[in-house]
Amino acid sequence: MRKLYHQIDNISGSVVTLRAEGVKNRELAEIDSRVGTSLAQVIKLAGDEVTLQVFAGARGVATDAQVRFLGHPMQVPFGDELLGRVFTGSAKPRDNGPELTMNPTDIGTPSVNPAKRIIPRHMVRTGIPMIDVFNTLVESQKLPIFARAGEPYNELLARIALQAEVDVIILGGMGLKHDDYLAFRDKLDASGALSRTVMFVHTAADPVVECMLVPDVSLAVAEQFALKGKRVLVLLTDMTSFADAMKEIAITMEQIPSNRGYPGDLYSQLAARYEKAVDFEGAGSITILAVTTMPGDDVTHPVPDNTGYITEGQFYLRNGRIEPFGSLSRLKQQVNKDTREDHRTIMDAMIKLYAQYKDAAEKQSMGFRMSEWDKKLLRYGARFEEKMMDLSVNIPLEQALDLGWQILAECFEPMETGIPTKMSDKFWPKK
């Protein structure tokens, strides 16, 4: 029988301190008070003073609340039973299903030995041409989606979840609006993808500590599936809420802020999560796509900035489209040589011409005279945006490449595109 404690000395934000003995760092405790029972985690020990972070927040916690230490760190159940279920950040059911307790698995486990990693080599098909053709997503990649609040990033994530060719999808929602959460659930349910999905959802109304737990529980479950040979796609939205939750706790703990109030270890904390993306030799893989909203559309804000240094490229979502410049998949070179021989050709040619179109469009807006070539570019740009860039376009890679040739053929002569003759001879659509 473990000892019960009844005397809480300090309560501030969601952090409480009390005197207790024999407590381990990062151990869980249960706090029982008038407002209910909540889990809490040890975050600091100083002599017999124990600092706890209360998952449900400290609102209504009384100084005489009962505190019971559980002797183990935060764990999450694991098994195929998780599929199709929705949980909170502290891994309690959010749907009406039963509470699960099998195979408790530690969260925040050690990092993968770099010597055990392999060079990524499999493409993840999404059916979105702007990803598949131009910035291919690769298994074990970690990629953020940088967007301004208000962009349809959750719709994009939901579509990727529906279409991506993976075995298991883990969705970690942080600071989600309740409507968005329901929209996600309904969309996945309607398409039948819910049965291969596990959702850990923290909504904006939930306690802030649970927000911080979402990436860890999501990735711990993902890791277990991957070790069982599953290809797992982890979708996180929104990592800026996660960083803000960390900021909130850090300030409550009276830590010295480094940049715009964020704690000094923001980089390490984000990296510890993103680096969970991995391709296990002889087992499965974890791929991470994470939305990072940019406050004020500013990429130099600490959260997107630190994220950019950690991840392997980024997608910019702007005006409802994945922006072809700025966006980058650092790993695409590893896979796009083996898809179809014209993949790289189409990718390079279309982007180069689109860049020229942008120049032409700028010239046009400034009232300069349009040459024949400029007019061709304008026609091309409009078609490219409508048929390729639009997020509702949903076609497999091969079809997208054919479409690319078709758009080019509608606007240009082969020699105008800068495509090597060998390629255009083979692929240029015959009239």
Partner 1 sequence: MDKTIGKVTGVNGNMITVAFTGAVAQNEVGYACIPGKDRPLRLMSEIVRIRDGVADMQVFEDTRDLQVGDALEFSGDMLAAELGPGLLGRVYDGLLNPLPELAEQCGFFLQRGTYLPSLDRTTKWAFTPVAKPGDRLTAGETVGTVPEGVHTHRIMIPFAWRGVYTVKSVAPAGEYTVEDTVATVTDAKGQEHEVKLMQRWPVKLPITCYAERLRPTETLSTGIRSVDTFFPVAVGGTYCIPGPFGAGKTVIQHQTSQYADVDIVIVAACGERAGEVVETLREFPELIDPKTGRTLMDRTVIICNTSSMPVAAREASVYTAVTLAGYYRQMGLNVLLLADSTSRWAQALREMSGRLEEIPGDEAFPAYLESVIAGFYERAGRVRLKDGSIGSVTIGGTVSPAGGNFDEPVTQATLKVVGAFHGLSRARSDARRYPAIDPLDSWSKYPSVIEQPRVEALRDLLRKGADVEQMMKVVGEEGTAMDDFMAFLKKELIDAVYLQQNAFNEVDACCPVARQREAFDVLEKIVSERYAYADKAEARRAFLQLQQAFIDWNNTPADSPDYATRREAVLNFVAEAPHA
The contact set with partner 1 (CB under 8 A) reads 21-27, 44-48, 73, 108-120, 140, 227, 255-259, 263-265, 267-268, 271-272, 274-276, 280, 299-302, 305-306, 308-310, 312-313, 325-326, 328, 331
Tokens, residue 232: 């797992």
Q: Are 89 and 217 in contact (CB under 8 A)?
A: yes
For residue 154, CA distances in Å to 6, 150, 230 come to: 44, 10, 24
Cβ at position 186, least distance to partner 1 in Å: 35
Distance in Å, CB of 19 to partner 1, minimum: 11
- In angstroms and rounded to an integer, the radius of gyration of the C-alpha atoms of the chain is 25
- Which CB sits closer to partner 1, 66 or 267? 267
Task: Record the tokens describing residue 217, joined without a space.
Answer: 């529980």
**Separation CA 257–CA 298 (nearest Å):** 20
Query: Distance of CA 214 to CAs 3, 78, 107, 197, 372, Å?
Result: 30, 15, 10, 15, 55
Please give, one letter per residue, the 3-state secondary structure of 117-143.
ECCCCCEECCCCHHHHHHCCEECCCEE
Q: Which helix (H) or strand (E) holds 263?
A: strand 262-263
| Separation between Cα atoms, residue 308 and residue 142, nearest integer Å | 10
- Cβ proximity to partner 1: between 159 and 332 the closer is 332
Q: How far is the CB of 402 from partner 1 (least distance, A)?
A: 27
Nearest distance, CB of residue 206 and partner 1, angstroms: 25
What distance lies between CA 280 and its chain's CA centroid? 20
Helix (H) or strand (E) holding 201: strand 197-203
Q: Which helix (H) or strand (E) holds 79?
A: none
Is 37 or 421 the residue whose CB approaches partner 1 more closely? 421
CA 126/CA 110 separation, integer angstroms: 30
Judged by beta carbon, residue 80 or residue 298, the one nearer partner 1 is: 298
Local structure of 253: helix, strand or coil: coil
Q: How far is the CB of 255 from partner 1 (least distance, A)?
A: 6
The nearest distance, CB 368 to partner 1, in angstroms, is 9
Between residues 94 and 276, which has the closer beta carbon with respect to partner 1? 276
Q: Which residue, 301 or 343, is less far from partner 1 as judged by CB?
A: 301
Residue 167's nearest CA partner among 244, 83, 107 is 83
Residues 6+ apart with CB under 8 A from 431: 409
Positive or negative torsion for Cα 335, 341, 345, 351 = negative
Contact call for residues 168 and 141 (beta carbons, < 8 A): no
Measured from the CB of residue 125, what is the shortest distance to partner 1 in angstroms?
A: 21
Q: Measured from the CB of residue 185, what is the shortest distance to partner 1 in angstroms? A: 31
Q: Select 47 or 98, whichever has its Cβ closest to partner 1.
A: 47
Q: Identify which of residues 162 and 349 has a Cβ nearer to partner 1 in the complex.
A: 349
- Give whichever of 120 and 172 is closer to partner 1, judged by the CB atom: 120
Question: Least CB distance from residue 366 to partner 1, whole Å?
Answer: 10
